[in-house]
Each structure stands twice: as structure tokens, then as C-alpha cells.
Amino acid sequence: MEVDVMSNISITTVDKSKIDSFDFENVKFGAKFTDHMLVCEYKNNAWQQMEIKPYSAIELDPSARVFHYGQAIFEGMKAYKDDNDDVWLFRPDQNFERFNKSAVRLAMPEIDEERFIGGLKALIDLERAWVRKGQGNSLYIRPFMIATESGVIASPSNEFLFCILLSPAKSYYSGKIKVQIAEHFSRAANGGIGAAKAAGNYSAQFYPTKLAQEAGFNQVIWTDSATHTKLEEAGTMNVFFRIKDTLYTAPTSERILDGVTRKSLIELAKSEGYQVEVRPVLVEEITKAAADGTLKEIFGAGTAAVINQIEGFSYKEQYYQLPELKDEECFALDLKNKLTRIQNKLANDPFEWTVKI
């Protein structure tokens, strides 16, 4: 039997924390990190001892497989602090399960719950002063795994590094955004790695997103690779459409990431009495609804942004402006407020989504 993982964890702390000089009010999302990080190597067909140590550079051989064949996956999570100074995670079991699904798809080793959840809790417990109170404040959590074995032979690595970084965060996006519906580019294809949270999925988005931004838009709503008639995701987020008083969102598939915020919003919306339909959403029906005035809202949903409202979209060089709704009329704002209140322990959690550290 393996020795107890958590009792065998190695912890080395910084001599002096940088927290007193950290500007929490003006932090750029994902740009600055806390004092410590967690690392754990996989070699000889087994996960090794976990180590929490001062945040520092990782040294890799130039021929490490991650650089040449892209074996890299990650997750995005958040921790929140309530008014009693208790720190909470939001549905970490879902991120753990998805991380391992991504690992399997990229021929990487699955990681055990003790290392992923247990190690995460130990790291955040050490860094709990970095979690700030107040709705809108959070600690962004970035677990990731990369292939580290040296050699440029085109085969899966046998050695890996699992790491967790922590970054104080505020809202990822501010204000509404304009998007462009993709007519040529796709985020993912059937049989590919679209359902995995793989690094390569995101690098493939950068160029078409750059083109959209040069045309005056913030992001791209991706369409299916086969026909470009089905709306799938918005930028790095899942996407919802409100026609009249019904919310529509595409089902998860080989192409669409199983977003934790997405599934939480679906469950929350249904519990609040909203009509929700999970089915393929066609470009044609959205442009038609926009033209006849029945399209009321579009919004993206993801860990970083929670919910990001979309004010209008472009398709085939025609721009469609969504109606200006009062705040109390917006499903997006209502759901965002209700979900973030649960995450921040400002409201009851009937779904038992929050986990105390």
C-alpha cells in the first residue's frame, strides 16, 4: 500500500511573504501569483511525493515533450472567503473529474483525489490570507499537468509534472462585449480534443480571435466544424441564448467543454423556474430571432467570468444589436447574482456545491 499521501507532503515556506506589497484592487487577471505553489512529479509509473514550495521557475530540458507534442492540460477553479473568514471551494469534484478525463484523452496519467483535492486544500490553507472577502473577489486556482520526459521522438511522455498555482482575482471581464459568429474557423472537431481542457485548444483560438478583434469585436462565437450552422461556445466560455423567456444552450459533446459554471447555471436556472432547453442552437434561428426582436440576451459562462453579457453579434458582415434591458429584466444578471452569492456564502447553498477548507 502507498504511504498516506497527505502526511507525506513536503512544505517549504517563503522567508517573507509579498502579500503586504500586493495591490489587490488593481490586479490583472492571471498575472500575479501567491507566495507558494504545489508540485508533484510522475515517474517510474507512479506519482511521487507532493511538495508545496515558494513560487519559482520550473526547469525543463529543451527536448521536454510538452514543447514538441503539446501534452498539456489544465483546470480553472476559484476559492472564496466569507464574512467569517472561512474559505470555500466551488464544486472541486467536478474539476477533479474533468482533469482526469482530459488526462486520459491526451495519454497522460490520471491523478488521485488525495493529490488533486487534498493537495489543493493544503496549498490554499497555507495561502488563505490571499483570499479576500467581498463579492467579486476570489482566488483563481490553476491546476495543470505537462509532459516532462526529454526526447523528440513522437510518442507519449512517461514523465509528467502536476502543479497548482494561485492568483488573486477580480472579475475577468468588465462590461458587455461584441462578438463575431465564426463562418470558417472552428474551436474543435468531432474525434478531436474539444471536450478536454487541453492547452492546444486555446492556442488554436488565438488567431481567429485576433482577426475578430481587428474587426472591432471582443470574441468569437464558435460554430461546428462540419457545417458552421450550429452555435457552440463563445471565446473560452460556454454560451447561452435567451429567445423570449427561454434559455437555450448547446449540449456537451466531443467538441464542447463540459463547463462547471454552465452545468451550475442550468441547474440553478431550472430551480428558479426559468425555462431551459439543452439542444443544438442554429445560427439561422438566432439571426432570425435577432431580426424579429425575440432574441433578448446572449451571455457566456465560465469560471473566470462567471457570466459575461453580449450586447451584439456579427454574422456574414451584418451586425445584430441586442435590446437594452433593465437590470431587473436580465436573466444573465439575475443568475450571476444568485450564483456568486452561493459561491461567496452570502446565500444558502441548497445544491451543496460549496466545500469548506
pLDDT computed for residue 173 by the predictor: 56
Residues 44 and 136 in one domain: yes
The confidence band for 6, taking pLDDT boundaries of 50, 70 and 90, is: confident
Residues 295 and 238 in one domain: yes
What is d(CA 339, CA 354) in angstroms, rounded to the nearest whole number?
11
Residues 158 and 11 in one domain: yes
Sequence-distant contacts of 43-49: CB under 8 A, at least 24 apart: 43/158, 43/159, 43/160, 45/158, 47/109, 47/111, 47/112, 47/115, 47/162, 49/8, 49/9, 49/10
Grid cell 426559468 — which residue?
274
Across 31-35, 50-54, 168-172, 237-241, least confident range: 168-172
Q: What is the CATH number of the domain that holds 131?
A: 3.30.470.10
What is d(CA 256, CA 199) in angstroms, rounded to the nearest whole number?
15
Whether residue 349 lies inside any domain: the answer is no
pLDDT computed for residue 13 by the predictor: 98
Q: Would the pLDDT of 71 be above 90? A: yes
Residues 92 and 190 in one domain: no
Whether residue 106 lies inside any domain: the answer is yes
Residues 304 and 241 in one domain: yes
Residues 147 and 254 in one domain: no
- Quick one: CA dihedral 10, 108, 353, 82, positive or negative? positive
Dihedral, 242, 244, 246, 247 alpha carbons, nearest 10: 0
pLDDT computed for residue 1 by the predictor: 40
Q: Would the pLDDT of 172 be above 70? A: no
Whether residue 336 lies inside any domain: the answer is yes
Residues 129 and 233 in one domain: no
Residues 183 and 158 in one domain: no
Average confidence (pLDDT) over 1-23: 87
What is d(CA 301, CA 257) in angstroms, rounded to the nearest whole number?
11
pLDDT digits (tens, 9 = 90+) for 265-281: 999 999 999 999 999 99
Whether residue 356 lies inside any domain: the answer is no
Whether residue 269 lies inside any domain: the answer is yes
Q: Would the pLDDT of 155 be above 70? A: yes
Whether residue 16 lies inside any domain: the answer is yes
Residues 303 and 280 in one domain: yes
Arithmetic mean of pLDDT over the chain:
95
Q: Which residues contact 190 (CB under 8 A, 6 or more apart)?
A: 225, 226, 253, 254, 255
Nearest Cα neighbor of 161 from 48, 11, 70 is: 48
Is 37 exposed, middle or buried (CB count within 10 Å of its CB: 0-12, 13-18, 19+)?
buried
Q: What is the CATH number of the domain that holds 275?
A: 3.20.10.10
Whether residue 355 lies inside any domain: the answer is no
Q: Which residue has the higher pLDDT, 30 or 319?
A: 319
Residues 188 and 141 in one domain: no
- Choose the final residue of a domain: 137, 169, 201: 169
Average confidence (pLDDT) over 29-42: 96
* Half-sphere exposure of residue 320: CA atoms within 13 angstroms, side-chain side: 25
- Choose the final residue of a domain: 169, 201, 224: 169
- Choose the final residue of a domain: 118, 151, 169: 169
Domain count, the chain: 2
Q: Would the pLDDT of 100 be above 80? A: yes
Residue 189, all three cell numbers? 472537431
Residues 52 and 90 in one domain: yes
* Bridge pairing between strands 77-81 and 36-43: unpaired
What is d(CA 150, CA 61) in angstroms, rounded to the nearest whole number?
6
Helix (H, G, I), strand (E, B) or coil at 132: coil
pTM of the model: 0.94
Q: Would the pLDDT of 2 be above 60? A: no
Residues 182 and 122 in one domain: no
Whether residue 139 lies inside any domain: the answer is yes
pLDDT digits (tens, 9 = 90+) for 200-209: 999 999 999 9
- For residue 59, the enclosing domain spans 6-169
Q: Which residues contact 57 (CB under 8 A, 6 or more apart)?
A: none
